[in-house]
């Protein structure tokens, strides 16, 4: 239990990498990259978790009455998610350009085109 969340994070990263490396379709590769990104979210939030603690929001919680989880990693993850989505969008735009210019989204065929 003490390392399971970290291991799941590592597993997500490795699975995403496997998908990226074996992908036959660039759009599919972008989806695998999204899985890789989610590994970082799981790892960051797992580092900040505290047993028996609650969310660090004090609108309905008396400050000091209960332990709270680490808000710093949560803030990092939050911006990570939104920035990750725009990077995904940028990559998809590049894929559309490749489809337009080369007529294929298969990375192996692309390599043959160049060589």
Cβ contacts of residue 9 below 8 Å, gap of 6+?
A: 39, 40, 42, 43, 46
Residue 114 CB, nearest approach to other proteins (Å) = 14
Binding flag, residue 109, other proteins (CB under 8 A) = no
The pair of structure tokens assigned to 60 is 């309905």
33/105 Cα distance (integer angstroms)? 16
Binding flag, residue 110, other proteins (CB under 8 A) = no
Residues from 52 through 81 that contact other proteins (CB under 8 A) = 53-59, 63, 67-75, 77-79, 81
Residue 3 CB, nearest approach to other proteins (Å) = 5
Positive or negative torsion for Cα 8, 12, 13, 14? positive
Q: Are 20 and 29 in contact (CB under 8 A)?
A: yes
Q: CB nearer to other proteins: give 86 or 115.
A: 86
92/27 Cα distance (integer angstroms)? 7
Work out which of 65, 101, 111, 115 binds other proteins, going by CB under 8 A. 101
Residues from 13 through 52 that contact other proteins (CB under 8 A) = 13-19, 21-22, 24-25, 27-28, 30-32, 34-35, 38, 41-42, 45-51
Residue 115 CB, nearest approach to other proteins (Å) = 14
């Amino acid at each position: 239990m003490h390392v399971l969340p970290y291991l799941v994070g590592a597993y997500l990263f490795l699975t995403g990498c496997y998908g990226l490396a074996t992908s036959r379709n660039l759009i599919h590769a972008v989806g695998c990259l999204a899985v890789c990104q989610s590994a970082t979210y799981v790892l960051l939030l797992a580092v900040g978790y505290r047993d028996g603690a609650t969310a660090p929001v004090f609108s309905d919680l008396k400050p000091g009455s209960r332990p709270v989880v680490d808000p710093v990693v949560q803030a990092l993850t939050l911006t990570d998610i939104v920035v990750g989505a725009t990077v995904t969008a940028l990559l998809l735009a590049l894929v559309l350009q490749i489809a337009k210019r080369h007529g294929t989204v298969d990375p192996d065929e692309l390599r043959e085109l160049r060589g």
